[in-house]
Amino acid sequence: MTQDNLIRLRRSIAISYVFMFFALFTVIGGIFAYWFARRVTQVEDVEVWLQAQALWVMRNITIYLILVCFAALWFIPLIFFYWDSALWVTGCTVAGVVFSLIAFLFLLNAWLKGISRFFKNKAVF
């Protein structure tokens, strides 16, 4: 692997971590993070720690998207305004907020762990 390819792949992983951070605020950032990390996994003869970083980003973005979709399901009863007086609608909303917080903290923890290992040039697993 040439030095230019290594720099390009490191830049791609760094951009992926930037978008992974943006995914904390919008899911679109997670899609871009997944795409940049996937580009690294498609290259042959990549250093092992770069491959591990890319797979780490892809894995955690996938888990995060599943958690966000699950949390979003709990907010569906809020669409019906005339149900708002029912106690179960409030319970679903509270559950949705809790699951959203869990998803947010999961990705924040994964991002911190991954970025710290990335700056040390080590595999994250």
pLDDT in tens, 18-74: 999 999 999 999 999 999 999 999 998 889 999 999 999 999 999 999 999 999 999
pTM score, whole prediction: 0.90
Strands in the chain per DSSP E: none
With a pLDDT cut of 70, the percent of the chain lying above it is 97
Which tokens in the block code for residue 38?
Answer: 């996937």
Q: How far is CA 81 from the centre of its chain?
A: 32
Where in the chain are the domains?
3-119
